[in-house]
Amino acid sequence: MKLHLAAISLATATVAVGLPEAAVAKTRLIVNCFWPPQHFVCTKVLPGWIEEVERVTEGRVTANIPPKSVAPPPEQLASVEKGLVDAAVQFNGLIGNRVTGALTAMQPFSGTRNSIAMTDAAWETNKKFYPDEFDTVELLSQWVITPGDIYSGTDTPIVTLEDFQSRKMWALPGPLANIAKELGAGVVATPAVQSNEVIANGVVDSHMGLSGDGLKAFQVLPYSKSVTRVSQPMYTTTFSFFVNKDKWAEISPEDQEAIHAISQDTIGKVAAGLWDSVHDEVRGSFQELGIVEYTADPALEAALMKAAEPITEAWLSKASEAGIDGQAALDHYQARAAELSQ
């Protein structure tokens, strides 16, 4: 019997040594997507990254996306840290208590209307000023999306400071809501996914902060009669994509390097470009929908910028506490975003 068992063990070892590379154990990633399943991040951006990962690792690293998000938007980072999923996208505005540098591109009046240019500038700034900020996960990509504008739900557009102050408006929580409050507008601030119930039910008569993707996804276009643009966007939103540290450690150094090499181009820049494309498509429908475009009065724009100053000052103070040269990072980001947008 001992001889028989030994023979089996030897045979098994011999077969294992002779197995082709494809039979070696693979690393499989569970990649969460908190947007609705039909959103382009879930149908194009993340699947495109998965396809590239499988290609550059020759199938040694594969991945799949669950049919439904396993965690709410604020919990994406936590879900990856806990190992509930292996990779996820996080809206950086929801983890401001954990990261500071990632909010550089979210400072008011710091961006442009070119999301790919802002994304390149933000990633470059990250690498230069705070490359190790995400120390509990492996950061693979970041991006900046199309800025939103000011929309009136009444026949009267919002052009002057007096117009703005007379309104009750929905705004994204955070900088935009704080700016609107500072100027004296009535503000209802909720996550973007709850914007429709506030806007459609007449709780407010205007809204601020949604770009084309949000306008379309949350079905608020029927309640928008005009849009007002400022010369420099008030606020932009940023996201980060990362992988669980322990799962990342299962991947060979060579494959890790290959994944890093393709991630920013296949997630960050692709996502940014799609956001701009959807925004341009929605904006192209404004005339048909009867949505009239206006330019903000200079006095309104100046007041908005003045109201935003305390927000940036508070961030600069927080960046200093985190050991980041916030002013240098912000200056670099703004200069590069403007340069790349030309």
Q: Indicate if 200 and 327 belong to the same structural domain.
A: yes
HSE of 131 in the Cβ direction (CA atoms, 13 Å)? 3
Given this model, what pLDDT does residue 172 score? 87
Give the tokens for residue 83: 């190992």
Q: How many domains does the chain have?
A: 2
Q: Indicate if 220 and 244 belong to the same structural domain.
A: no
* Residue given tokens 């724009």 in the structure block: 301
Domain membership flag for residue 14: no
**Which phi and psi (to 5°) does residue 185 adopt?**
-75, 150
Q: Indicate if 215 and 250 belong to the same structural domain.
A: no
For residues 250-277, average pLDDT: 98
Q: Indicate if 212 and 302 belong to the same structural domain.
A: yes
336 and 342 in contact (C-beta within 8 Å)?
Answer: no
Name 93's Cβ contacts closer than 8 Å, sequence gap at least 6: 103, 106, 173, 174, 237, 238
297 and 286 in contact (C-beta within 8 Å)?
Answer: no
| Longest CA pairwise span in the chain (Å) | 94
* Residue 11 reports pLDDT greater than 60: no
Domain membership flag for residue 10: no
Distances (CA, A) of 261 to 141, 264, 266: 10, 7, 10
Name the nearest CA neighbour of 85 among 57, 62, 66: 66
Query: What is the CA angle 74-76-79, rounded to 5?
Result: 120
CATH code, domain with 316: 3.40.190.170
Q: Print the domain residue range for 212.
A: 150-235+289-341
| 12-21, 61-70, 142-151, 332-341, range with the lowest pLDDT | 12-21
For 147-184, write each residue's pLDDT tens digit: 999 999 999 999 999 999 999 999 988 899 999 999 99
Q: Indicate if 180 and 310 belong to the same structural domain.
A: yes
68 and 273 in contact (C-beta within 8 Å)?
Answer: no
In 72-205 the beta strands, taken as DSSP E runs, fall at 87-91, 137-144, 150-152, 168-171, 186-189
Spatial strand order of the sheet with 206-208 comes to 186-189, 168-171, 206-208, 150-152, 226-229, 292-295
For residues 21-31, average pLDDT: 75
CA–CA distance, 212 with 48 (Å, rounded to integer): 22
* Residue 22 reports pLDDT greater than 50: no
CA–CA distance, 106 with 269 (Å, rounded to integer): 17
